[in-house]
Chain A
Amino acid sequence: MRRLILAISAVALTATAALADPISERQAIMKSNGKALKSISAIAKGEQPFDADKVMAALKTLNEDAQKIDVEKLFPDGSQTGGDTTASPKIWDDMAGFQKAVDKFKADTASAVTASPASLDDLKVEFGKVAKNCSSCHEGFRIKKG
């Protein structure tokens, strides 16, 4: 009997762990995106010399982060509020629209990696495409909080 209870609590524990904390998970992804963008923005603006390795590393990070955004898992019902989330209720009002925006981000980061920019001009094009996703998604799907 004790074993059964232990087993059940173990299962219950893993189940909770799987959902862990979607809010902090999605925030960690966004932080990592910010870091990656920062590392190449000076290059994209021509303020730092072009460095293909650095550029690829950043684009790969962005792409890996983007592919991690599983809307169902990271934005489940019940994660509208809590912690210091700045996710807008519009995400849940318009799941299809949000999914579309996430899919676009995924596609744009993947194609930036495939393009493997070899010059500043190539980078500018890819950087511009990827960076546009930030504001277009934050325009409707995030709210600023104090």
Chain B
Amino acid sequence: MGVAARLAMGAVALCVLGGATFWYLTAPVRLDPIRLAGLGTGDAAKGERIFWAGGCASCHARPKAEGGAKLELAGGVELKTAFGTFVAPNISQDPKDGIGAWSVEDFANALMKGVSPSGEHLYPAFPYTSYARMKVGDVADLYAYMKTLPSVAGKAPDHSLRFPFNIRRGLGLWKLLYLDDDPVVEFPEKMQEPVLLGRYLAEGPGHCGECHTPRQFTGATNDGKWLAGATAAEGNGIVPNITSGQGGIGSWSEDDISNYLETGFTPDFDSVGGTMVEVQKNIARLTPEDRAAIAAYLKAIPPHPNGYPPRKAKPAS
């Protein structure tokens, strides 16, 4: 055998080995049986709170749906990002086009591990990176509540993503690096309620960090600048800094934050705008205690200066 042939064989072997390693590392990982056992039967009445805290309807109702139509989770909202356009799928109870045929275990694996019932990786535009921090009991309650919502036929269009982001299997590597269920902000052991409830709501179901935290080039949140504000994923705007650091909301009291989440008005009586309008309407459906907990959490987290670049200088004219 010549040197060239040997080299070629070596290259092939390396490729096979590399491919096998890739396949092994990118395999979908589901919830372990111990956690799945904690799901229980689920309570639909309690699940409604989780539904609004999670903001499910903001992406999964039809674009611009209002009132009762918000509970028809037909999908179709587009999220235009640097990776391409994501389209929120149908998560209504339709057994064919929605998730009506999913078991509670399927639902929990999608929500907390980003794995579909058929074993595909879901894209983290669906914020399972935050939902991973949820309590399994809350996930079961949410499942029970969503069972009470209407079934709507019709699939939403597929995502339209650039290479290599259109290869789902690759997400396995990304998840190895970035998917975990630990809280982001660690507090001293003596930390009191309602801060811990606020942390749960904000870091878990509320997924505040998905927009309010700047992202690295890999698309993962830069947790060293947690909630410091970020360049918006869509359009030319920014998402504000909601820590107490420079440019943030340090001058707001806990009451100011609660009031904003309830009414949509800042202490200066500017109003909520952009995509936060939907979020604020959802949070307004929670209890005053839940809103106060989120406020207490935001006042307790480490302050950071703005996580987005300063505005360009004004044009000369």
Residues of A participating in the B interface, judged by any CB pair closer than 8 Å:
30, 33-35, 37-38, 41, 81-84, 88-89, 131, 134-136, 138-139, 142-146
| Chain A residue contacts of B314, Cβ below 8 A | 82-84
Q: How many angstroms between the C-alpha atoms of A38 and B229 in the bound complex? A: 26
5 shortest interchain CB distances as A-B pairs: A138-B273, A143-B237, A134-B271, A34-B269, A139-B277
B236 in the interface (beta carbon within 8 A): yes
Are B311 and A139 touching (Cβ within 8 A)? no
Cross-interface CB contact of B277 among A83, A131, A135, A146, cutoff 8 Å: A135
Cross-interface CB contact of A41 among B265, B272, B273, cutoff 8 Å: B265
| Chain A residue contacts of B278, Cβ below 8 A | 139
Contact flags B217-234 to A (C-beta < 8 A → 1, else 0): 000000000000100100
Number of A-B contacts (CB under 8 A): 75
Nearest CB in chain B to that of A33: its residue? B269
Shortest distance from the beta carbon of B108 to any chain A beta carbon, whole Å: 33
Contact A146 to B311, CB < 8 A, known contacts A41-B269, A138-B274, A139-B277: yes
Contact A134 to B239, CB < 8 A, known contacts A34-B269, A37-B269, A142-B273: no
| Chain B residue contacts of A139, Cβ below 8 A | 273-275, 277-278
Nearest CB in chain A to that of B307: its residue? A146
Q: How many angstroms between the C-alpha atoms of A34 and B270 in the bound complex? A: 6
Are A82 and B236 touching (Cβ within 8 A)? no
Are A34 and B268 touching (Cβ within 8 A)? yes
Shortest distance from the beta carbon of A89 to any chain B beta carbon, whole Å: 8
Shortest distance from the beta carbon of B242 to any chain A beta carbon, whole Å: 12
Residue picked from A38, A136, A144, most chain B C-beta under 10 Å: A144
Nearest CB in chain B to that of A83: its residue? B314
Contact flags B62-81 to A (C-beta < 8 A → 1, else 0): 00000000000000000000
